[in-house]
Amino acid sequence: MALLQIAEPGQSAAPHQRRIAVGIDLGTTHSLVAAMRSGSIDVLPDASGRVLLPSVVRYGLQGVVAVGDEALEAAASDAKNTIVSVKRLMGRGLQDIAAHSTPYDLVQDDAHAMITLRTAAGLRTPVEISADILRVLHQRAREAFGLGAADDLAGAVITVPAYFDDAQRQATKDAARLAGLEVLRLINEPTAAALAYGLDSGAEGLYAVFDLGGGTFDMSVLRLSRGVFEVVATGGDTALGGDDFDHALAQHWLSGWGLGHDFSGLSSSERRRLLRLARLQKEHLTQLQPHEVIQAEWMRDDGAVYVASISREAFDQMTAALIQRALAVSERVLDDAGIQASALMGIVLVGGSTRMPGLRIAVERAFGQAPIIGLDPDRVVAIGAALQANSLAGNRSEGEDWLLLDVLPLSLGLETMGGLTEKIIPRNTPIPVARAQEFTTFKDGQTAMSIHVVQGERELVSECRSLARFELRGIPPLSAGAARIRVSFQVDADGLLSVTAKEQSTGVEASVSVKPSYGLTDAQVADMLQAGFSSAEQDMQARSLREAQVDAQRILEAVASALAQDGDLLSASERAEIDQAMSQLRATCGGTDRDELRDRTKRLAGLTDDFAARRMDRAVQRALAGQTIDGVLDNAAR
Three-point CA angle 528, 533, 535, nearest 5°: 90
**182: amino acid identity, one letter:** E
Sequence-distant (6+) residues with CB within 8 A of 20 are 35, 141, 145, 147, 153, 154, 393
Three-point CA angle 182, 183, 188, nearest 5°: 165
DSSP structure class, residue 45: P
Catalytic annotation present for 401: no
Count CA atoms closer than 13 A to 383's CA, side-chain side. 19
Cβ atoms of residues 509 and 449 within 8 Å: no
Active-site entry in 96, 128, 174, 189:
189
**Rounded to whole angstroms, how far apart are CA atoms 460 and 419?**
6
Angle, to 10 degrees, between the axis of helix 380-392 and the axis of helix 189-201? 80
DSSP structure class, residue 478: -
Q: By three-state DSSP, how is residue 369 classified?
A: coil
Active-site entry in 78, 96, 128, 211:
211
Radius of gyration of the CA atoms of the chain, in A? 31
Cβ atoms of residues 187 and 388 within 8 Å: yes
Nearest residue to 434 via CA among 489, 473, 385: 489
Catalytic annotation present for 25: yes
Active-site entry in 87, 282, 423, 502:
87
Catalytic annotation present for 173: no
Catalytic annotation present for 211: yes
DSSP string, 524-586: HHHHHHHHHHHTHHHHHHHHHHHHHHHHHHHHHHHHHHHHHHHGGGS-HHHHHHHHHHHHHHH
The size of the chain, in residues, is 638
**Rounded to whole angstroms, how far apart are CA atoms 65 and 86?**
16
The 3-class SS string of 155-200 reads EEEEEECCCCCHHHHHHHHHHHHHCCCCEEEEEEHHHHHHHHHHHH
Angle, to 10 degrees, between the axis of helix 609-624 and the axis of helix 536-566? 50
**Rounded to whole angstroms, how far apart are CA atoms 480 and 464?**
28
Provide φ and ψ at 173, rounded to 5°. Answer: -65, -40
Residues marked as catalytic? 25, 87, 189, 211
